[in-house]
Amino acid sequence: MTDTQWPRYEVFVQERPGRPHQHAGSVHAPDDEIALQNARDVFVRRPECISLWVAPAAAITGVTAQELAERGAAPEAQADGDDHAFEVFAKVEQRGTLIHIGQVAASSAAVALAASRRLADANGALVLWVVPSGRVTRSDEADVAPMFAPASTKAYRDQAFYHVQTALQRMRRSRQP
C-alpha cells in the first residue's frame, strides 16, 4: 500500500521560560512552515506555550540507552566533513517524554550521538535523539502573541471547562435507590 500521508514532523513545546523544549507529539505537513502552524493548532490548545519547534522525523536519529551502551565499546564514529550543530533530546524517565538537553557540534548524526553520551549520562537518559539544528523550524518571539496568547482566553478548549463528570455523578446519585 502506498503511503499518501505528508511527511511526519516531531513537535517540541516550551511551556515556560527556563524550561526545556519537550516532545509533544507529531503532525503531518507538506513543509516546514505548515508543520509549525499545524503544531500550533494541534498542540497549543492550552495556554502553556512560549516557543514551538518542529523537525522532520526523517532528520531525527534516535537510539536507546541500551544501544548506546553497546556502542560504548565500539570505536568512535568516524568524522565526515565539517562540524555543525545538533540539538539533543533525551528521555530521562520511563513514563516521561523527550526533553531538550543541549546542543553538540558534530560532523554527522552518528558522531553527534557519540558526543551526546556525555550529556546523556549526566541526565540518565533512556532514549536519545539528535537532529541537525538547521532542520529545526522555530517560532519567533513575534509569534508569541498571535500564535500562543489567544489560547489563554479559550478556557472552553480545556476539558476542565466542561462539568460532565460532575453532571454524571449527580445523575448517578439521583438514580440510586
Partner 1 sequence: MNPELRRALAEALLALADDEMILAHRDSEWSGHAPILEEDIAFANIALDEMGHAQLWYRLVAELRDKDPERLPDRLVFRRPASAFRNVRLVELPKGDWAFTIVRQHLFDSIELARLARLAQVGHAPLAQTAAKILNEERYHDRHTRAWMRRLAQGTDESRARIRSALDLAWPKTAQLFLPIPGEERLLEAGVWVGGATLAGAWYAAESGFLGELGLDIEPLPAESEGRDVHTEHLEALLTEMQSVARLEPEAAW
Contact set with partner 1 (CB under 8 A): 6, 27-30, 33-34, 37-38, 40-42, 45, 145-147, 149-150, 154
Contact 84, 105 (CB under 8 A): yes
- Separation of alpha carbons 156 and 50, rounded Å: 20
- Separation of alpha carbons 27 and 34, rounded Å: 10
Q: Quote the strand ranges of 29-177, DSSP E.
A: 51-56, 61-64, 84-91, 98-106, 127-132, 137-138
Nearer to partner 1, 5 or 94 (CB): 5
- Separation of alpha carbons 163 and 168, rounded Å: 9
Nearer to partner 1, 30 or 124 (CB): 30
* Shortest Å distance, C-beta 154 to partner 1: 8
* Shortest Å distance, C-beta 118 to partner 1: 37
* Shortest Å distance, C-beta 58 to partner 1: 17
- Separation of alpha carbons 36 and 148, rounded Å: 12
* Shortest Å distance, C-beta 88 to partner 1: 27
Nearer to partner 1, 29 or 63 (CB): 29
* Shortest Å distance, C-beta 61 to partner 1: 25
Nearer to partner 1, 49 or 130 (CB): 49
- Separation of alpha carbons 52 and 6, rounded Å: 20
Contact 38, 66 (CB under 8 A): no
Nearer to partner 1, 27 or 65 (CB): 27
Nearer to partner 1, 37 or 107 (CB): 37
* Shortest Å distance, C-beta 93 to partner 1: 28
Q: For residue 122, which phi and psi values (nearest 5 degrees)?
A: -60, -30
